[in-house]
């Protein structure tokens, strides 16, 4: 494991801050000053300012993010952060981001390798959103979402779309661009009134009240690992093409 990742997992700092500590010569590995390209083995002793550090255990947290919380470790505006909501002995950080007013499933972990893989578009991890718009999209509008719309950073991939009721739409995507869901609906002429992520990969917030969290079961962690080990799948199974009412 690279030294900055080891420090992040030990709860010392983020990888970026860890790089600064390493550059400053404050981190040693087996008594030798660490470098940015230093790799740490299981039996190595890592110290910060001469004080030995212990690596934290891996932790995997599912949070039902409430509205108003920001998806970051700290906020200069003093807003409540998702990290503050999770009182855990291990330092965990969110995988991806949700806007402050978006609610729902958010994974936090200190497993840097898994976090990187889940965020990588190669693995096409499904993210399911319940979207309510101010005006009701037509079936033609939903078909545009299904086949992809043009955004300022390029066209979107195929999406799973079904109408739940009126202006309430379920959208399944596997990309993770900034404000993507809101921008997709804006592209078809509809502003989002509320946005909730009901599922992230195999994880749902069923049984979790907003603001509450739980540790993942080992079987759930294994499910996430399987998602990142598979070859890129065919999306047809989650992309309904013929849906008379864009419903069930």
φ, ψ at 244 (rounded to 5°): -50, -45
Report the C-alpha gap between 20 and 82 in whole angstroms.
25
Start-to-end CA distance of the chain, whole Å, equals 46
What is the sign, positive or negative, of the torsion defined by CA atoms of 188, 203, 81, 193? positive
- Non-local (6+) Cβ contacts of 135 within 8 A are 167, 189, 190, 191
Report the C-alpha gap between 207 and 221 in whole angstroms.
18
Q: Which residues are catalytic?
A: 99
Give Cα 170 distance to the centre of its chain: 19
Report the C-alpha gap between 9 and 3 in whole angstroms.
10
150 closest CA partner among 103, 188, 95, 203 = 188
Report the C-alpha gap between 69 and 171 in whole angstroms.
22
Question: 142 is written with which tokens?
Answer: 């939903």
């Amino acid at each position: 494991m690279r030294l900055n990742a080891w420090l992040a997992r030990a709860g010392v700092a983020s990888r970026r801050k860890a790089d600064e500590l390493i550059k400053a010569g404050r981190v040693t590995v087996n008594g030798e000053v660490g470098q940015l390209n230093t790799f740490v083995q299981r039996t190595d002793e890592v110290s910060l300012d001469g004080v030995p550090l212990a690596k934290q255990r891996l932790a995997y947290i599912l949070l039902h993010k409430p509205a108003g919380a920001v998806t970051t470790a700290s906020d200069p505006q003093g807003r409540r952060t998702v990290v503050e909501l999770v009182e855990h002995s291990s330092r965990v950080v969110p995988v991806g981001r949700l806007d402050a007013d978006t609610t729902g499933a958010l994974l936090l972990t200190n497993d840097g390798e898994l976090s990187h893989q889940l965020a990588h578009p190669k693995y096409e991890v499904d993210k399911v959103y319940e979207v309510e718009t101010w005006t009701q999209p037509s079936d033609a509008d939903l078909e545009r979402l299904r086949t992809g719309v043009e955004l300022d950073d390029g066209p979107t991939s195929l999406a799973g779309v079904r109408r739940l009721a009126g202006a309430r739409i379920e959208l399944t995507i596997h990309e993770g661009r900034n404000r993507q869901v809101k921008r997709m609906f804006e592209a078809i002429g509809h502003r989002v009134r509320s946005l909730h992520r009901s599922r992230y990969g195999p994880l749902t917030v069923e049984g979790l009240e907003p603001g509450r969290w739980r540790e993942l079961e080992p079987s759930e962690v294994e499910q996430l690992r399987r998602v990142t080990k598979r070859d890129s799948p065919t999306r047809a199974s989650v992309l309904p093409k013929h849906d008379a009412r864009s419903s069930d």
